[in-house]
Amino acid sequence: LSAANTYSMRIAIFGAGSLGSLLGALLDRNHDVVLVGRDPHVSAVRDGGLRVIGVDSIEATPAATTDGTGLDVDLAVVTVKACDTDVAARDLATGDVGAAVSLQNGLGNEDRLAAGLRCPVVAGTTTHGAMLSEPGVVAWTGRGTVTVGNWRVDGGDAATDPAGDDPAAQIAAAFRAASVDVAVDPDIRRRLWLKLAVNAAINPTTALARVRNGAVCSEPIVTYAERAAREAAAVARAEGVDVDGDAAVNRALAVADRTADNRSSMFQDVAAGHRTEIDAVSGAVANRAAEHGVDAPVNGLLAALLRGWEAGQGLR
């Protein structure tokens, strides 16, 4: 990832579902973008372009493919489900990738990408909302921001590599060049844990109850959503990341209120009969809680219930 291509990059969106397609359309305004996803969406984009509706209207013409191997790109933006991270790393490793940034849900994605790739790996989050309306069309349901931070550079934990490059800053510059609101956070781990607490409170509860996000803010769900968020914060602290329980709860309820009419990604997965990201959300909280001797019964129960549903559907 060199300074020469900072403002005009070859970018792969690996996992071109709703969020990935939205980001691909935004980045396509200034970069050479290829979407890596599944049919029939990929075929529709390849044949007729990508259309964004909702918050803003965008007509984009990125390349699109179902084959993520052999890519030659400056940047891979990884937006696959957490359960597909290993596949993403495996496929990306067959090509020439300058850097990768994860904008996924859950814990562990960055480490799994770093284990499989020989390039800088950057962590990130986004508050943009998106849903696929139909193949080739994505609904932009909420304008947000992107935040990135260095995770691993050349296999280490340093913020910059020996040459003095700063991958997170360069990736942020690429997003800004496409007029995408982006920031660099040197404490990206805390931000990821806060996001995990929000996801643990909202996603499994709405998926199991089949309700929209706003229902999380009131009884009977709110009590258990708050407990799930507090448990995630406690595990974060056990791992040396300063996340206050009240802050986690307040963030979760604020997100649920702001997105009250939305269906969470996990609710959408359950409704469509797809595998969820429960292992990387409530499951990750429960597993790491057990490692540290921290109690996380609500996350454990939520994970067990959704894993049980997936097993019954033949998805595990």
**Catalytic residue numbers, as ranges:** 195
Distances (CA, A) of 45 to 140, 249, 266, 284: 16, 39, 25, 35
Look up residue 118 and give its amino acid: R
Burial 60-97 (b: 16+ CB within 10 A, else e): bebbbbeebeebebbbbbbbbbbbbbeebbebbeeeeb
Is 102:91 a contact under the CB 8 Å cutoff?
no
Cα separation, 33 vs 297, whole angstroms: 43
Beta carbons of 24 and 35 less than 8 angstroms apart? yes
Q: How many helices (H) and strands (E) does the chain have?
A: 11, 12
Continuous H helices in 146-187: 167-177
- Pairing outcome for strands 182-184 and 146-152: parallel
Show the beta-strand stretches assigned E in 96-145: 96-102, 121-126, 129-134, 137-142
